[in-house]
Amino acid sequence: MSSRKRANTPGRHRHAKRADDRDPVQVTCRLRPLSSNESEACVVAIDDEHVKLVPPAGYILRNGLPPVETTYKFSSVFDETASQRMVFDQTSLDLVQDVIKGKDGLLFTYGVTGSGKTYTMTGTPKNQKDGILPHTLDILFNSLLSRADKCIFVPDGRNGFEVQPEGVAMLERARLALRTPCSKFEFKYRIPDTRAVRGANDDYVYAVFVSYIEIYNNVAYDLLETTPLVERGEKPRPPTGKGLHQDSKGNMYVDKVTEVEVSSTEEAFEQFVKGQERRRVAQTMLNAESSRSHSVFNIRLVMAPLDASGCEPVRDSSLLHVSQLSLVDLAGSERSKRTENTGDRLFESGKINQSLMTLRQCIEKLRENQKTSPDRAGQVPYRDQKLTHLFKNYFEGQGKVRMIVCVNPSVTDYEENVFVMSFAEQAQDVEIVRAVEVNFGNGNLPVSRRRMAQWNNEIESALRGHNDGFPDTQAFSVFFDAPPPFELNGPGDSDSIARLRQHYQSTYRKRQDYGASAEQKVTEFEGAFRSYLCVADTHRRRVEEMEREKAEVETENQRLAAQFRQTKRELTALKQRVSKYELAEQVKSDKEEEFKR
């Protein structure tokens, strides 16, 4: 068996960088609507960046003093009217583009139980309310210019990937084709997101792998692991906890996790639903489907350069590049007294609070370390919990980190929201080393090799049957001396014959040299000319695409402008009605006062 080289996730620079090479953790706040039986809110959106925390009437702090209203600033704020797509576009769309460009990203939802974390992350696709995950998958698959055949790439068990021989890959594909889909998720009425982002390299082929991890009671479990069959009447075997390992580049990963190759949003979501069915979900007083564990859905993009033909991926595993986007749905943190948890549920709440507290401690330590010199920086307690240990690389500069703070504005959540806002405020002060741009080594070609090959094939097809060969050699006669007169003084005139032989031999050699040089220059000119024409044609097509996009944007702007004018007219009419009612109320009040006198 031939040895295989290992393909690792790209390494990152670990040394300290200047402040201008860092970006703050972007924290977004999303408010869920109040329940139908509630009318008073303790959190109110002021504008697109600020929220106000309003203490409920009669609330007293532990020190006996009444609390004050507090304003918090976020990267962006979404009130209860914000759509799922709006939230995705502002928090996650650029993360999808980064993954396609070879960079990593981490996004997690944080908040108390029932604040809308799971809804924000997954939504309800059946009801056309896709969350971040379905939008991410749609746009990712729409944006990949070319995908490798399935089973070409396989996980190596050490956080990397290997390239399989084509024969082995064909057998694997044949076995996959025999499997019967078992998804219980209905995509029939779902409307996918048809948008795409730029960044895919046309000289690379791509493959998408997903994995689904649960961290329950500080133990990592593989939600996609195939469980062994049990005999009838026998209890199912409990899942096996997985350890965390570090690869050769220092990246943390879950050992022996199942990574499934998917080729569409439907296939990826089928794996997600499979994992959801295995998640530990327990009923609490707050939320009938409250997740009692942290979930991590990893999307890994494997990319390989094409060979010289521009048609097949290279078979060298060391040339593979892997990027990753981790979507984390954190379990809610609530007081046991409030949820009336007992026994196992109480133990779960304690473990959840411990992991979230460790996350908060890591954030606090990172803030402190930024204010001191590197030699005096304290150790960040990543290892205290599986959750923080798994994602420590992101906070050390592996990729972008995003947090969506989901808030239930109910007054019953006021005290929990105080802690949530405090943590969010601290997280925004943490600066992450900016991930370096990935060099795919395509030589800065103006167009891809695949595009050039495709264009040349089109040209060859168009020129077929035309005389476009090497020019007539008669054109070279102007470069040669005139031959000596063909005169012989007799059959023994060897001198004249020698002169003629020498002339024509010299002319033949010159003709060969000139012909070869001219043919080489013609070939070089033809290649350069074709390259320029291909670039011009590619730019022309791009301009046409941009013009179409511009027309679509202008149409959308016109629609929004008309909608704005209509809303403005309705608002003016409402103001007039309110003013009329206020005037009538004032007249009525004045009459009542006059009657009392």
Tens digits of per-residue pLDDT, 255-301? 999 999 999 999 999 999 888 887 754 334 334 445 568 999 999 99
Establish whether 114 is an annotated binding residue. Answer: yes
Greater confidence (512 vs 181) lies with 512
Q: What is the mean pLDDT of the segment spanning 161-174?
A: 90
397 assigned ligand-binding residue = no
Q: 104 to each of 96, 132, 429, 471, how far by Cα in Å?
A: 9, 16, 21, 55
Q: What tokens were used for 137?
A: 């998958």
- Say if residues 307 and 314 touch (Cβ distance below 8 Å): yes
- The answer on pLDDT for 30 being more than 90 is yes
Three-state secondary-structure class, residue 301: strand
Type of residue at 203: D
CATH topology of domain 92-231+238-403+428-433: Kinesin (3.40.850)
pLDDT value for 259: 97
List the structure tokens of 486: 């063909």
Quick check: 433 and 25 in contact, CB under 8 A? no
Q: Is 115 annotated as a binding residue?
A: yes
Which of 145 and 391 is assigned the larger pLDDT?
Answer: 391
**C-alpha to C-alpha distance for 430 and 426, rounded to whole angstroms:** 7
CATH 3.40.850.10 segments of the chain: 92-231+238-403+428-433
Q: How far is CA 539 from the centre of its chain?
A: 27
pLDDT at 373: 80
What percent of the chain shows pLDDT beyond 70? 83
Return d(Cα 234, Cα 532) in angstroms, integer: 71
**pLDDT classification of 333: cutoffs 50, 70, 90:** low
Does the pLDDT of residue 150 top 50, yes or no?
Answer: yes
- Maximum CA pair distance of the chain? 154
Q: For residue 188, what pLDDT band results from cuts at 50, 70 and 90?
A: low
Residues of the chain with pLDDT > 90, as a percent, come to 41
**In this structure, what token pair is assigned to residue 416?**
């929990």
Is 118 marked as binding a ligand? Answer: yes
Do 312 and 295 touch, CB atoms closer than 8 A? no
Q: Is 60 exceeded by the pLDDT of residue 444?
A: no
- Is 264 part of any known ligand binding site? no
What pLDDT, on a 0 to 100 scale, did the predictor assign at position 288? Answer: 46
Q: pTM of the predicted model, to two decimals?
A: 0.77
pLDDT surpassing 90 at residue 189 = no
Residue 196 has pLDDT above 50, yes or no: yes
Nearest Cα to Cα of residue 150 among 133, 166, 131: 166
Q: Can you say whether residue 64 is alpha, beta or left, with left for phi > 0 and alpha for psi between -120 and 50 degrees?
A: left
The CA distance from 326 to 436, in Å, is 18
Mean pLDDT of 130-152: 94
Dist CA 136 CA 148 (whole Å): 20
Task: Please provide the average confidence, as pLDDT, over all residues in the chain.
Answer: 82
| Phi/psi-derived region of residue 256, left when phi > 0, alpha when psi is between -120 and 50, beta in every other case | left
Is 252 within 8 Å of 386 (Cβ atoms)? no
| 243 assigned to a ligand binding site | no
Q: What average pLDDT does the segment 319-325 reach?
A: 94
Residues in the chain: 597
Ligand-binding site membership of 310 (annotated)? no
Any known ligand binding at 411?
A: no
For tokens 């939504």, the residue is: 123
